[in-house]
Amino acid sequence: MPHSLIFLVVAVAIANGLFSPALLPIFALQGIWYPFFLPASLPIILLLSSLLVSTLTLMVAGVPAALYERSSDKGKSSLLSGLIWLAAAVLLSLPGLPNILKALS
């Protein structure tokens, strides 16, 4: 997979982490995933919530690409698997598109 494609996938995942509607429930459930021994600082919790959504986007978007690689004859990474990963990340980011457009205007 070309190295520039991974940067696009990560950029889409970061944008989804910042603007996704899933950020609010993850933030609201911070009592479950946030360690009790860390200070309960709002900016830190918001940053980690965004990072969690971004990471989940990367992982879930990678599943179709991994399934394609597993079922293909080559069994290794290719340009098409990278494009599948990018397309899945973009599809997962579509619910956050109105928030992105609102932030840009």
Q: What is the mean pLDDT of residues 7-27?
A: 94
Distance CA 82, CA 92 (A): 15
Q: Could you report the per-residue pLDDT of 18-69, keeping only the tens digit for each?
A: 999 999 999 999 989 988 898 888 999 999 999 999 999 999 999 999 999 8
Report pLDDT for 2: 60
Residue pair 86/1 in contact by the 8 Å Cβ criterion: no
The pLDDT, as a whole number, for residue 48 is: 93
Q: With 0-12 CB in 10 A as exposed, 13-18 as middle and 19+ as buried, what is 103? A: exposed
Q: What is the pLDDT of residues 59-80, one digit of tens each?
A: 999 999 999 988 887 767 788 8
Residue 1, pLDDT above cutoff 80:
no
What pLDDT sits at residue 12? Answer: 96
Whole-Å CA distances, 47 to 27, 41, 54: 10, 10, 11
Rounded Cα distance between 28 and 19, Å, is 15
Domain holding 35, by residue range, is 3-104
Residue 39, SS3 per DSSP: coil
Question: Based on the structure, what is the number of domains in the chain?
Answer: 1
